[in-house]
Amino acid sequence: MALLRPDTRTDPPAAPGRATRRIGASLSRWFDTGTGAGTHVDPDRIDWWRVAPFIGLHLACLAVFWVGFSWFALWTAVALYLIRMFAITGFYHRYFSHKSFKASRAMQFAFGVLGASAVQRGPLWWAAHHRNHHRHADTQADVHSPVTKSFFVSHMGWFLTPRGFPTDHAVIPDLMRYPELRWLDRFDLLVPVALAVGLFALGWLLEIHAPGLGTDRWQLLVWGFFVSTVVLFHVSVSINSLAHRWGTRRYATADNSRNNALLALVTLGEGWHNNHHHYPGSARQGFHWWEIDITYYGLRAMAALRLIRDLRPVPEKMRNARLEAAA
């Protein structure tokens, strides 16, 4: 079933009480994702009430024309982009989704919080959807495949619908046993709001005590939170929409995954996507020294400091699979 398809049906209008309950359920899920899914005429239509904050996140970026520019605000945005991208790629993806290394309970929660600050939902939701992606890559059951869906759907339309909202708990039993992760996943709005408030407060303090930096509360909020978050989001999800369309294929995987050096650079290593689909369990996605994988370098540094351990390598047989097949 194609997502976000044009709907030509003439369904009878919903009763006022039912429509009100549906809107109320959508609004309540802003704050508590554990709220029931409610009833929807079509689970593949965008739930506009629920995604209003996501739209507002983008519109808020226009405020750069009012708050102005400072180097401090720009570098704050860049720093938060890099830190949160690493939390997404290193932990949401390589740890929570694929268990490619081991971490303590405190460390997994700390990076779960950092990942949640990227406004890409909670770690359980993210990992569940990603595991299902690998199970059904580029088939009709893959909700964000650009092969079977449109670019818009594969890029972001899929999670704006009621179908994309729930967390499939059945595929993450290893993560469900941690109550702190369940809490973080259920109330996934709390961390981004805390980050936004913190940036606003920092800008206010700098405006008073360090005016030479040329920033203020609103500027730091807009650049540090809204601009940084929106850029981070679209770069992250470009792996779904672009890395299954453009690039090279080293391995004959059953899907259409591609290696894309440019995407690898801006996503800290995630662009070696054909490598990843060939052997998802490795902590390393750049299989060769010339394939820049900044996330892996960061994980190696954390392992050297004994913050994480047991990074899973790429077996030599898997790395050379293409050469063996050609021999």
Read off the DSSP letter of residue 160. G
Question: Which amino acid would we find at residue 21?
Answer: R
Q: Is 76 helix (H, G, I), strand (E, B) or coil?
A: helix
CA distance 22 to 35: 11
pLDDT at 2 over 50: no
Residue in 96, 115, 136 with CA at minimum distance from that of residue 244: 136
Cβ atoms of 120 and 92 closer than 8 Å: yes
HSE at residue 104, side-chain half, CA atoms within 13 A, is: 8
Q: Is the pLDDT of residue 279 over 90?
A: yes
Query: What are the sequence ranges of the domains in the chain?
Result: 53-326
Residue-wise DSSP of 25-84 = HHHHTTT-TTS-----S-TTS--TTTTHHHHHHHHGGGGHHHH---HHHHHHHHHHHHHH
Q: What is the mean pLDDT of the chain?
A: 90
Separation CA 6–CA 296 (nearest Å): 42
pLDDT of residue 89: 98
Please check the confidence at residue 10 and state whether its pLDDT lies above 50. no
| Percent above pLDDT 90 for the chain | 80
- Distance, in Å, from the CA atom of 146 to the CA atom of 139, rounded to the nearest integer, reads 10
Is the Cα torsion angle 66, 70, 73, 76 positive or negative in sign? positive
Say whether pLDDT at 12 is over 90.
no
Q: What is the pLDDT of residues 169-221, one digit of tens each?
A: 999 999 999 999 999 999 999 999 999 999 999 999 999 999 999 999 999 99
pLDDT of residue 324: 46
Q: Residue 298 corresponds to which tokens in the numbers above?
A: 């960061």
Q: What is the pLDDT of residue 18?
A: 63
Work out the pLDDT band at 309, boundaries 50, 70, 90.
very high
Candidates 287, 310, 275; CA nearest to 95 is 310
Among 10-24, 71-85, 232-246, whose mean pLDDT is lowest?
10-24
Residue 92 has pLDDT above 60, yes or no: yes
CB within 8 Å of 48: residues ≥ 6 apart: none
SS3 309: strand
The sign of the CA dihedral 114, 120, 125, 127 is negative
**In the beta sheet, which residues pair with residue 259?**
248, 272
Q: Is 300 exposed, middle or buried (0-12, 13-18, 19+ CB in 10 A)?
A: middle
Which pTM value belongs to this model? Answer: 0.90
In the beta sheet, which residues pair with residue 309?
102
Provide the pLDDT for residue 44. 83
List, for residues 181-194, the tens digit of each pLDDT value.
Answer: 999 999 999 999 99
Instruction: Annotate 200-263 with DSSP letters as a single string.
Output: HHHHHHHHHH-GGG---HHHHHIIIIIIHHHHHHHHHHHHHHTTTTSSB-SS--SS---B-HHH
Strands (E), 50-131: 102-103
CA 225 – CA 218 distance, rounded (Å) = 10
Q: What pLDDT, on the 0 to 100 scale, is given for residue 6?
A: 42
Structure tokens at 277: 């689909």
Q: Where are the beta strands (DSSP E) in the chain?
A: 102-103, 308-309
